[in-house]
Chain A
């Protein structure tokens, strides 16, 4: 949404979040260095930098991975989700400092190319306890580079949302590689039990939150209802939908959001055209369905973004019988005007 591309789509909240990210990172580094100096005064500056930035990066990665499920379980986390992209890019920069310093400290002594040195200085690929764990870190960093460098909306649009999404799903591959990087590295450098502990707790948290969310959403998907004789589906009672909000249902394999606003009901496809955000978890703001992820807007009665924007989502026909809401599971073309039902 916009007529030319901007560096960043700034608004007041985003600036605040970015300050929080920057201050949080700084605070972490200061505390890390202070603790290291207190507990392990003989640690060299390079090692301190490598460890501080490596652990900062993996901490941030955990936060990034839990925001998605958390904000689906509790909308209060949504504002962090909007800012996840900046968190991702900052995490990449932290990982880059860590990787760059490791390469400088361990691999630039000889006269071979340092990247070549990472891969070949230890050829013990068959070993568990002496595996060249740096290679795993390098591959993970490469994936993080892909995600950070394509995080701008330009790439979302021009690589196509499908490829972009695929690229960004590789974060789970990167996460796996980094876990191996840290665990296999722990056999060689005595990584502190503290770091290992944090990572185990983090891993359990990330997986269980993903499982809980998947379970909760599968219940929405299992929603079953009576079809009436003309093929309309009974979905709920009017009173179950809060004002200026929606309830989400799966009809004919598609998720549909039914909104209640100004005494009317309208149904649109639940998937935002921007990055697939759940429109039904958003609110009606200024008469428009507003995506909870980044604020794209759609008119509820025709699924179109207000001019000059051109995004469109599919619309659905509703019917009211007493208090019961019925939906026609065959949606209309994107952007088709449908008369809202009054309730």
Chain B
């Protein structure tokens, strides 16, 4: 039981830490590459999105790789 709990917690912490790192990159740089509406979005909107990006980064990272580079 103890090991299950430890593994669960380590995964949880790792998931959210990676999400935080990715999150800052994504809201200020990456997001405009996957969604043109982000280019003109304000800083407050970007920060509002941060918690959600931290929560769902594995889905978004895939989208980022698939996106075509914009010039």
Contact = CB atoms under 8 A, between A and B. Distances in A.
B54 A149 contact: yes
A4 B36 CA distance: 8
Contacts of B44: 7
Contacts of A7: 42, 44-45, 48
Contacts, number: 65
Contact of A6 (B31, B34, B45, B51): B45
Contacts of B5: 116, 119-120
Interface string A1-29: 01111110000000000000000000000
B70 interface: no
Contacts of B40: 3-4
Interface string A105-117: 0000000000110
Given A123-B1, A149-B51, A5 B9 contact: no
B34 A158 contact: yes
Interface residues of A, number: 26
Nearest to B9: A116
A131 interface: no
Contacts of A148: 51
A5 B52 CA distance: 15
| Interface SS of chain B | helix
Given A7-B48, A119-B5, A158-B63, A149 B35 contact: no
A152 interface: yes
Given A116-B5, A120-B2, A154-B37, 20 more contacts: A2-B37, A3-B40, A4-B37, A4-B39, A5-B38, A5-B41, A6-B45, A119-B9, A120-B5, A123-B1, A145-B55, A148-B51, A149-B52, A150-B56, A154-B35, A154-B38, A154-B49, A155-B52, A163-B59, A167-B56
Interface of A: 2-7, 115-116, 119-120, 123, 125, 145-146, 148-152, 154-155, 157-159, 163, 167
5 contacts: A4-B42, A152-B49, A154-B35, A158-B34, A158-B63
